[in-house]
Structure formats: C-alpha cells, structure tokens
Amino acid sequence: MRKSLYLTGMLMLSFFLSRGVAFAQDEEKKWYDMVDFQGYLESDLRFIVDDWRGPTDGDGYKFQMNRNDLDLRLGITPFETVRAVVDTRLRMYGFSEADTMQGLNKRETVDPFAIYLDEAYVHVQGLGWEGMDLKVGRMVQNWGTVDQFNPTDNVSARDLSDPLDSFAKVPNQMIEIDLYPADWLTLNFIWVPVFKPSMLPPSANLGFAIGYDENGCFKDLPTPPMKIEYMEELMNMFGAIDPCSLNFVDPEMQIVSPDLKIENSQAAAKAKFLVGPLDFSLSYYYGRWSFPVPATGYAGVDNNAEDPNMLDVKYIVELTYPRIHVAGFDFSYSADWFFDVGFVGEVAVFFPEKVDFALRAFQNGNLIIDKVNNNVPTTPFVKATGGFDYTFTSWLYLNAMYVRGFLDEFNDMYGIHNYVVMAWELKFLEDELQFRIAGIFGPDDMSGSFQPRITWVVVPSVELFLQGQFYFGDEDSNNPLDFKAKDKLAWKPVGRNIVALKAKVSW
C-alpha cells in the first residue's frame, strides 16, 4: 500500500512538474530553464542457458528476468549556484510472487515492483568562497580512472545484483565538500555517516550452499575460510554418519552490520592534480570493506525429534564488514609520443582490520570442535589495475587492463589474484550497429567469463540489445576442504550463463 501511494505520488509529481514546465514555457521562460528532465524506459528479458550452474543439477533453461525499469531524473536549478537532483526508478520485476490464494488478491504479489531513489541531493556552488562546493544528500561516488575495477573507489558500495551492470553502485547519504584552489588542483572531502554494504548477485547464496549427491544425500559443506586440517576434522565429524541420515536445515548467513555510532561512519579525501598530459590523484579512505567476510561459524548436530535414524544439522555463519584504511593513487595519461594511446592506472594499499574465523561444532549440545584461525591478517596488501585504450579506426576500439585483485577480493584466505580484462568495440552503419565483446580471464586458476553484446540504435533514443554472459572453467573446487581452491570466475556463486534481450527508450 505504501509503495502504491509512493508510486502514485511520484507519477503525480512528474505530471504536475511537466505541466508546470509547459505553463512556464508560455508564461515565463526562466522557469523552463530551471528544470531539466531525463529518463528512460528499459525492458529486460533474460534466459538461463545452462542447467549446471544452479543450486541443483538440471535447474536451468528457463527465464531468469522479465523486468521493466522506468527511470525519471529531475534536475532543478532555482539559483545559478544551487542545483537539486532527484533520480527515481520504478522497477517492475515481472514474476508473480503469489504462492497462496490470498496473494492473488494483491497486485504487489502478482506483479511485484519496487521504487528506488537512486539520487537525491542538493549541490551548492561557491559556498562561502568561490572555489568551494557543497553536496548533501543521497548520491554515489565514482573514484578512479580505470573502468569498473577501481581499487581506489571505496566510498560507495557496489551493486552487483545485476550481473550485466557491474558499474552500478549503492546510493548512500553523504556530505561532500569540493575545493578548487587552482586550475590544476581539486580537493574532495566526503563524510558518509552510515555504512551501507555492497549488494551481491542472486547466485551468491550458492557460496554457502550444502552439497548433495545424486541421491539427495549430504555430500559436502560450504567451505569456510579454515585451515585444511580443521576442515578435515569437521568433515570427520560427519564422516562417521550415514550422509543420507543428515537432515540439513538451509544454512543461515547472518550479517553483522556496524551499529550506527559515529565512529562507524566513513571519511574520504582526494587531491587531484592536472600536470600537462597527466592527471593523477592521491586519495585516502577510512571506512569498512563493503563485501561480507566470514568471521564465525556454528555447526550443530542434534537427534531428530521424530525420526531416531535422522540427525538435524544446522549451520550458521556470521559475516562482518572489517574496518579498512586505503591509501590510493590513480592516473590517466595521454601518450602523444606513443600513438596517442591513453594509459590509466590505479594502486591502492589496504590496511585491513584483522578478522579471525572461529568455528564451533556441537553434537547434541556438546562442544566437539572449537577452532580459530586467521582469515584476514592485518598485513597491508595491494590491489591495482593498469591498462590502456586505443581507437584503431573510427569503428574499432580496444580497452585492455591488468587487474590485481578482483572487485570482492580482500586478502582473506582466498587471497588476491590476477586477471586480464579486455573489451573490443566495433561500430558499423554509422554507429547504428555496435558489437562489443568483453572478457575477463584469471590465469591463476584458468577461469574466466565473456560478455558479447550487440546494440542496434533503431532510431536516436531507441536501442535494442542482445547480450550474454558466459563463464568457463571448473565449477567444482579441486579440493572442497580448501577455501583457496575454487576457480574464481567459474565458481557457481558468480552467476549463471544467460542471454538477454533488452529494449531501451531514453528521453
């Protein structure tokens, strides 16, 4: 109901604003100049083209998404130095969630939707001094010079809920002060009062799924960040038991979020310099790692109350967001002396908070395993990305990068790994038809993914996309007891093989 009211209100607001603009055109042009309006409608249909990367074998070859997004972005500039931006998005998910008769009475279960407020902020220029800007409100920050794999970009959490949109961020409330003391220097200071975590792909739960064999009997536990000898001890606990007698309750992944104390807020600062053909920044961030890190595990085995031949097993993992300090450097450089190639790079040194992983296992209430090992050491570690882009012809473009440390890698027991990222773009028919093939390859474990995309600009403002996301490598760990043994990009929690058909109209 509240969603419906919100939606109605938003649409009425849009209507009256548009009417207001129309009136303003007739009566006073200045009002028209104060308002700008953008948005898009996007329809997104996706199909899973595998049946081996789901929660169970054989789950696949079905629709994954049937989504429509309506984005409305309004900018108001009431004064020359004041600007407000509101960016809302209505998302219709397209799959009925009605699983009871009562649910069929409610539109929101038959046709579920959500309303996002992607941005809502006020920007004031020349606050107190001509060279000072203030931004307050809900927004995202995009730091760094490389594409997508920005180790210095830690202020805004990632939104990885859509595997085909890896640039998305989670908006958050923040205060930003920008200083422009000279043409060659920009200073940014940001304070984020409340921490927000990154959003994960829908498949992320598979990282903590119980493995079953073809008979539906227990096969293996999700591998926690523990020493192999500890894992062997844990598995031995189950090894003496008929695996078909184990009744696993779905594992619980409990998130331990930082409380709302001011000391849990985040702060960041950046100094950007322009020196001839080189732009570079020095940055600092203090806050929390936005991806959850396992900290404790609990396994309990109890006799089933109804069937004496069965054992109930409960597995709970607590995940935390460790504190971090990050010192960063990024640059972009146009090499006029070397075919006009553009080079970009980022280096970030992380100073993490120590995270130990503790596992306790109980059998009928008796503690039988109590192990602790270090998951994230306090040792500083480096993540870096370096790359170049080049336009060979008006229709052929290449962007290539080396990445040290994937988006979610944090020097836990899995460690920091190496990746090569490459994207080719080809344009034909005066850019009306565009082909893009992008890929990520991890030489450490020989896994990877690639994303082909065809874009057809039917007419200006109207685009059709046919794209896909495919993974290769070994989905199964070569040692289920070893947290490090997974093949990163082939790992099932990363996502499904899909093809997508999208249509987008922008205004």
Site residues for other proteins per CB under 8 A: 38, 75, 83, 123, 125, 133, 140, 142, 145, 167, 178, 180, 183, 186, 274, 276-277, 279, 332-336, 339-343, 389-391, 393-395, 397, 427, 430-432, 457, 459-463, 504, 506-507
Q: Cβ 476 to other proteins, closest distance in Å?
A: 36
Q: Based on CB atoms, which residue is closest to other proteins, 142 or 303?
A: 142
Residue linked to tokens 């929390």: 288
| Tokens representing residue 344 in the block | 């970009």
Q: Minimum distance between the CB of residue 91 and other proteins, rounded to whole angstroms? A: 17
Q: Are strands 252-256 and 218-220 parallel, antiparallel or unpaired?
A: unpaired
Helix residue ranges, H only, 228-378: 228-239
Provide the minimum distance between the beta carbon of 457 and other proteins in the complex, in angstroms, as a whole number. 5
The least distance separating other proteins from the CB of residue 350, rounded to whole angstroms, comes to 22
Closer to other proteins by CB, 11 or 458: give it.
Answer: 458
Give the pair of three-digit tokens for residue 218: 């227990």
Q: Which is nearer to other proteins, 342 or 439 (CB)?
A: 342
Q: How far is the CB of 347 from other proteins (least distance, A)?
A: 18
Judged by beta carbon, residue 191 or residue 397, the one nearer other proteins is 397
Written as one letter, the residue type at 141 is Q
33 vs 250, which CB is nearer to other proteins? 33
**Amino acid of residue 24:** A
Question: What is the 8-class DSSP label of residue 483?
Answer: G
| Rounded alpha-carbon distances, angstroms, from residue 336 to 333, 342, 482 | 9, 9, 48
Of 426, 430, 432, nearest to 456 by C-alpha is 432
For other proteins, the closer CB: 358 or 457: 457
Cα torsion 409, 413, 416, 422: sign: negative
Q: In this structure, what DSSP letter does residue 169 have?
A: B
CB of 459 to other proteins, least distance (A): 7
Dist CA 220 CA 143 (whole Å): 41
**Separation of alpha carbons 184 and 177, rounded Å:** 17
For the record, the structure tokens of 345 come out as 């790079």
For residue 143, the minimal CB distance to other proteins (Å) is 9
Q: How far is the CB of 437 from other proteins (least distance, A)?
A: 18
User: How many CB atoms are closer than 10 A to CB 260?
Assistant: 10
Nearest approach in angstroms of CB 344 to other proteins is 8
Give ∠ CA 393-397-399 in degrees, rounded to 5.
150
Q: How far is the CB of 176 from other proteins (least distance, A)?
A: 11
Considering the complex, state which of residue 315 and residue 331 has its C-beta at the smaller distance from other proteins.
Answer: 331
d(CA 269, CA 144): 13
Which of 87/220 has CB closer to other proteins?
87
Q: Which of the 8 DSSP states describes residue 414?
A: T
Length of the chain counted residue by residue = 507
Look-up of token digits 């919100």: 6
Closest residue by Cα to residue 495 from 50, 95, 45: 50
Nearest partner of 48 among 471, 466, 500, 494, judged by Cα: 500
CB of 431 to other proteins, least distance (A): 5
Cβ-count burial 483-494 (b if 16+ within 10 Å, e if not) = bebbbbbbbbbb
**What is the pairing mode between strands 311-320 and 246-248?**
parallel
Nearest to 70 by CA among 87, 85, 84, 46: 87
- Closer residue to other proteins in complex, CB, 186/385: 186
